[in-house]
Copies of this chain bind each other. A is one copy, B any other.
Amino acid sequence: MFEVSTPNAPRPAGHYAQAIVHDRTVYVSGQLAIDPQSGERRLGSIEEQTEQALQNVAAILDAAGSSIRSVLKTTVYVSDIRLWERVNAVYARFFGDHRPARAVVPTRELHYGFQVEIEAVAALKESR
């Protein structure tokens, strides 16, 4: 079991690691649309928020020795289910022909006013 830490994804703003690896599985913390370089919140359109959250997930997976193509399951928290089609359009383009298991969870407004948060469980490419 080890902690993943990369400058290519937002520095944790609270008491959590970007991801933890155990056996051959990576547990990625819920990601928001925060710019990894500046640390700024990107409270733009829902499409921009979704893209940035997914890029953060991808950067963490790469650092963990996994990748977006090895995602097993995502949980997508969205502040209003009426945004869903727009989230899904970005999500589908981002994952391409890889289709992880998924749950979609309508929440109240997310932390810092974000509209989407994405967490993931992924496989390592190889056993470690």
A-side residues, CB < 8 A to B, are 1, 3, 12, 14-20, 22-25, 27-30, 70, 72-73, 75, 77, 80-81, 84, 88, 91-92, 95, 99-111, 117, 119, 121, 123
Q: Which residue of B lies closest to A84 (CB)?
A: B111
Tell me whether A29 and B103 are in contact (CB under 8 A): yes
Contact among B1, B17, B18, B119 with A103 in the assembled complex (CB-CB below 8 Å)? B119
Q: Which residue of B lies closest to A94 (CB)?
A: B15
Given known contacts A72-B1, A105-B105, A106-B107, A99 and B17 CB-to-CB distance under 8 angstroms? yes
Tell me whether B103 and A72 are in contact (CB under 8 A): no
A121 to B22 CA separation, bound complex (whole angstroms): 11
A71 to B20 CA separation, bound complex (whole angstroms): 9
Tell me whether A101 and B28 are in contact (CB under 8 A): yes
A1 to B30 CA separation, bound complex (whole angstroms): 23
Q: Which residue of B lies closest to A90 (CB)?
A: B15
Q: How far is the CB of A119 from chain B (nearest CB, A)?
A: 4
